[in-house]
Structure 1
Amino acid sequence: MLPKHNRLRRSQQFSQVYRQGRKAVSAHLIVRLWALPAAPGAGTSTPSSAGPCVGIVVSLKVHKRAVVRNRLKRQVRAALRALLPRLSPALWIVISLKPEATECEYGEFLRELEQLFTKLEVLHGHS
């Protein structure tokens, strides 16, 4: 599980990312992110030391069984943990899985997340 300060927890936070965020798509994932305003006292921002906040969405369209959806979320969270220190801190990120994601394993999620974050130019230390 991700630390509490790295999780999107409110519906309004997800809505904000969907409304104002940028989007990148791969074969199995859709990543939406919103860079928090840099102005101090913006109200919606989190402390920069806390790092990015992430939400993972796996709908019933992906798989009807909760066991499968939860396994997919665990795999994405594990891949995300490896990339979290390299992400810009003032971000809200929503990762949605496509139905084809049921065929994926950890390594493929890690590779696709890295590619998508590089495409969105929020990954530090990419070569």
Structure 2
Amino acid sequence: MGFFVIIQTELILYLTIPSLFSPATAKGYALGVQPVRVLSNIELWFSRVFVNFNMIPLNNRLRKTRDFNLVIKHGRWVSNSFLTLKSLELAKNQDYFPKKEDPDKFVKQLKLAFSVGLKVSKSAVKRNRVRRQMSEVVRLLLKEDKLKIGYYLMFVAKKEVLDKNYAEISQEIKLLLSKTKVLL
């Protein structure tokens, strides 16, 4: 990818991706390494080159405090040895939702959240690794259209998840989703 070097208070980004440049712009630099002076448009540069397509779409993320509280208060718990799934079926729980929402659109959504608390690990690196693994399993299921719409889902990790690999986490998430009848 590249690396950063600070020289005399200027930030210089050395890119080692020769395919991004034409031969004319890379001329004069050894081994295709192209220094690019980066000042104010570093965000623009990275948004063009390093776009992450491996995330759950924004419209499928559970983000509002109101929605989290609804899932926690009125949802159904399903658990196994190292993961817990709290699910709320929107069609059966329309009484709890705000009146200003259009009921037809509201029932046809699927929103997800992933929680890995400090009880799992004090290390943010380990917690984020678990969260990314859980998110990737569900993202692939979403991509293949294997999840029913009309649910709010909240995945909560337990401490035992640290000892598990991606395949075991994937298997358990699919098992929990099938128990709640969300998996097609």
Higher relative contact order (CA 8 A, sep 6+): 1
Q: What is the alpha-carbon distance in structure 1 between the residues aligned to residue 106 and residue 135 of structure 2? A: 20
Does the 8 A contact of 1:78 with 1:106 survive in 2? no
Does the 8 A contact of 2:113 with 2:154 survive in 1? yes
Equivalences, count: 121
Unaligned runs of 5+ in 2: 1-54
Q: Which amino acid in structure 1 is aligned with residue 66 of structure 2? A: Q
Q: Which has the larger radius of gyration?
A: 2
4+ residue runs of structure 1 moved beyond 4 angstroms?
none
Equivalent in the alignment of 1:104: 164
Q: What is the CA deviation profile of residues 27-48 of structure 1, one whole-angstrom value per residue up to 9, with x for unaligned ones?
A: 1100001011377x96276372
Unaligned runs of 5+ in 1: none
Secondary structure of the corresponding residue to residue 114 of structure 2: strand
| Match status 1:61 vs 2:119 | yes
Query: How many percent of aligned residue pairs carry the same amino acid?
Result: 31
Does the 8 A contact of 1:58 with 1:69 survive in 2? yes
The RMSD of aligned alpha carbons is 1.9
Q: What is the alpha-carbon distance in structure 2 between the residues aligned to residue 5 and residue 75 of structure 1? A: 20
**1:106 Cα deviation from its structure 2 partner:** 1.3
Q: What is the alpha-carbon distance in structure 1 between the residues aligned to residue 135 and residue 56 of structure 2? A: 7
Equivalent in the alignment of 2:140: 82
When normalised by structure 1's length, the TM-score is: 0.86
When normalised by structure 2's length, the TM-score is: 0.61
| Match status 1:114 vs 2:168 | no
Equivalent in the alignment of 1:30: 84
Q: What is the alpha-carbon distance in structure 1 between the residues aligned to residue 72 and residue 107 of structure 2? A: 21
